């Protein structure tokens, strides 16, 4: 097919115009994306978003916007993008279905980093494990248990399930149950426990400790003891009180009963 000079000129003008418009679209789009990314980064910074999440969100937003700009520029050139976009959508759906669990953990990681139900250094209990949070990644949270084991928990269940954070409150209540014999002096037990609580400077005076009769068991009279302490002192006070009660009850004539079974033998 032969083209006249006039047709060739018109074709070059048309293609040249399309190329110029495509380049202008690309340059303007990338410039606008740069401005948008700076605004987004500042907004996330003001919102005190975790640095790892901030970087990930900015990168993800930048890639998505750039893909739209490139597709728009190619469309300006006259390249049909409908089939290409359909193929990308189908591939994205297939990948999403194959990685549904991973995507759930990713979404959970985003929720954890955004809303911060816990942070690095907190002691939490979740999914049957308890420990100190050592690292929050986009897919998993890393815990170190009290016996120095490393536990990796997917973020999906953490974001959607029940979780106990022991580090959010400055004070914690320590609960004990101590048993004495039915023949023991209960007033003496009250006085001794109160004196042990008063002697421990880590036990707070306000709220005041509670010592009360909890229940009448099969083998013992059970006393409930509740005291408030600073969160870091919880276990130290718990163990110290157990040790003190065990030693002082025996030294002051109070017994700590254990289950007993009386067997009566009758001769016919």
Residues 69, 152: one domain?
no
Q: How many CA atoms lie within 13 A of 224 on its CB side?
A: 10
Distance (Å, whole) CA 7 – CA 10 = 5
Is residue 99 very low, low, confident or very high in pLDDT (cuts 50, 70, 90)?
very low
Distance (Å, whole) CA 104 – CA 197 = 48
Distance (Å, whole) CA 143 – CA 123 = 9
Distance (Å, whole) CA 34 – CA 24 = 15
**Residue 106 resides in a domain:** no
**Residue 110 resides in a domain:** no
Give me the helices (H) in 99-166, please: 100-115, 155-160
| Residue whose entry in the numeric block shows the structure tokens 């975790």 | 50
Q: Which domain holds residue 175?
A: 171-251
Higher-confidence residue: 267 or 251? Answer: 251
| CATH code of 130's domain | 2.30.30.60
- The H or E element spanning position 163 is strand 163-165
Q: In the prediction, which pLDDT does 33 show?
A: 85
Residues 91, 128: one domain?
no
**Residue 263 resides in a domain:** no
| Cα distances (Å, whole numbers) of residue 230 to 176, 205, 235 | 17, 12, 10
| CATH code of 231's domain | 3.30.70.100
Look at phi and psi of residue 103 and say left if phi exceeds 0, alpha if psi is from -120 to 50, else beta: alpha
Residues 120, 161: one domain?
yes
Residues 31, 47: one domain?
yes
- Nearest CA among 8, 5, 62 for reference residue 37: 62
Q: In the prediction, which pLDDT does 53 show?
A: 65
Higher-confidence residue: 5 or 114? Answer: 114
Residues 151, 226: one domain?
no
**Tens-digit pLDDT profile for residues 182-240:** 999 999 999 999 999 999 999 999 999 999 999 998 889 999 999 999 999 999 999 99
Residues 150, 181: one domain?
no
Cβ count near 87 (within 10 Å): 10
**Residue 265 resides in a domain:** no
Is residue 21 very low, low, confident or very high in pLDDT (cuts 50, 70, 90)?
confident
**Residue 260 resides in a domain:** no
Structural domain ending residue among the three candidates 165, 180, 204: 165
Residues 46, 127: one domain?
no
**Residue 266 resides in a domain:** no
The domain tally of the chain equals 3
**Tens-digit pLDDT profile for residues 42-75:** 887 777 766 656 666 777 778 778 888 887 877 7
**Residue 262 resides in a domain:** no
**Residue 256 resides in a domain:** no
Residues 159, 176: one domain?
no
Distance (Å, whole) CA 165 – CA 119 = 10
| CATH code of 13's domain | 1.10.287.1260
Q: Would you state the structure tokens that stand for residue 259, as one six-digit string?
A: 């289950």
């Amino acid at each position: 097919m032969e083209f006249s000079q006039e047709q060739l000129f018109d074709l070059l003008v048309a293609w040249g115009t399309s190329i110029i418009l495509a380049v202008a679209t690309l340059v303007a789009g990338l410039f606008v994306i740069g401005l948008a990314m700076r605004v987004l980064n500042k907004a996330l910074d003001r919102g005190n978003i975790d640095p790892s999440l901030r970087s990930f969100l900015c990168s993800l937003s930048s890639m998505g916007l750039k893909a739209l700009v490139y597709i728009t520029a190619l469309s300006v050139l006259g390249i049909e993008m409908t089939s290409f976009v359909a193929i990308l959508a189908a591939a994205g759906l297939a990948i999403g279905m194959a990685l549904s669990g991973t995507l759930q953990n990713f979404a959970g990681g985003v929720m954890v980093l955004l809303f911060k139900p816990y942070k690095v250094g907190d002691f939490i209990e979740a999914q049957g494990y308890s420990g100190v949070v050592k690292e929050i990644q986009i897919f998993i949270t890393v815990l170190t248990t009290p016996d120095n084991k490393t536990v990796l928990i997917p973020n999906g269940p953490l974001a959607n399930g029940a979780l106990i954070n022991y580090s959010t409150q400055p004070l914690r209540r320590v609960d004990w149950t101590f048993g004495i014999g039915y023949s023991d002096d209960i007033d003496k037990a009250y006085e001794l426990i109160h004196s042990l609580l008063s002697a421990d400077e880590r036990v707070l005076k306000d709220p005041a400790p509670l010592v009360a009769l909890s229940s009448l068991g099969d083998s013992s009279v059970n006393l409930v003891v509740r005291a408030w302490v600073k969160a870091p002192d919880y276990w130290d006070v718990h163990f110290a009180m157990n040790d003190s009660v065990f030693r002082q009850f025996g030294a002051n004539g109070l017994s700590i009963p254990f289950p007993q079974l009386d067997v009566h033998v009758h001769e016919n």
